[in-house]
Each structure stands twice: as C-alpha cells, then as structure tokens.
C-alpha cells in the first residue's frame, strides 16, 4: 500500500485544526452566524451538523439517562465549553427536532479586500 497522503490543513497540525474548528463551532452556536473564509466554512459544516445531531439526541432523552450524559460529555469534550454545550442542547437542538439534517447554511460573500480570499457567512438555518 502507498503511504497515505495528508490532507491540506488550516494551520500546522491536526490538533491545531481540530481546536480551530471547535472554536469556530462554539462561536457559530453563540452568535448563530459567523463570517469566515469559504474553505473554513466548508470544513466547519459537517462538524457543526454532527454536534447538532448529538445535541438533538441528548435533548430527546431528557430523563437524565446514561445516554444523555454520554452525549453531553461528547459535545463538551469537543467544544470545551460548558456554556455552549448547554445552549446547544437546550436552545438550538429543540428548533431542529423535526428536521433530518441541513442545519447549516453557507452564503458566499465575495472576496476579502486584503488578500482576495473568498469569504462566506455560515449560519444556522
């Protein structure tokens, strides 16, 4: 087998990219919309949608079961912020109870003045 190729990253290492996406996801849930580059927005979409799906499952099992605790700890382990975890489960997830995906919208804004990077606004639907 050939040596696996490393995908392009934002920053230096895989750990840096994971933390960058976690911070962007927390900002997205706090403000319900952020402006960033298109590449970062496209990388953030699957991460944020998976977190919302976990929050929906945690919100569905309200009785304090072990499954709810497990899902809450997974979300908090990724985001690293208990306030955003609580907001995600208590405020954001109930809005999407009847929706089976597609929680995030990406709007292209044009290029940034300084370096002509393509910009986009990513927001909750």
Indicate whether 12 pLDDT > 90. no
Residue 54 has what pLDDT? Answer: 96
Contact (CB, 8 A) for 82 and 73: no
- Report domain extents, the chain: 36-124
Note the pTM of the prediction, 2 decimals: 0.90
At residue 11, φ and ψ (nearest 5 deg) are 105, -155
pLDDT tens, position by position, 43-83: 999 999 999 999 999 998 766 789 999 999 999 999 998 99
Cβ partners under 8 Å of residue 103, min gap 6: 48, 49, 52, 96, 124, 125
**Class of the CATH-defined domain 36-124:** alpha beta
Read off the pLDDT band of 6 (50, 70, 90): confident
Indicate whether 1 pLDDT > 70. no
The DSSP letter of residue 110 is E
């Amino acid at each position: 087998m050939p040596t696996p190729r490393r995908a392009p990253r934002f920053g230096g290492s895989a750990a840096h990219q994971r933390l960058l996406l976690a911070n962007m996801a927390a900002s997205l849930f706090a403000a319900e919309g952020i402006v960033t580059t298109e590449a970062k927005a496209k990388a953030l979409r699957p991460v944020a949608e998976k977190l919302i799906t976990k929050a929906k499952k945690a919100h569905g099992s309200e009785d304090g079961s072990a499954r709810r605790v497990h899902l809450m700890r997974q979300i908090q382990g990724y985001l690293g912020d208990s306030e955003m975890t609580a907001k995600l489960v208590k405020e954001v997830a109930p809005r999407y109870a009847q929706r089976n995906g597609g929680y995030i919208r990406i709007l292209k804004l044009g290029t940034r003045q300084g370096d002509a990077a393509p910009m986009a606004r990513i927001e909750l639907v």
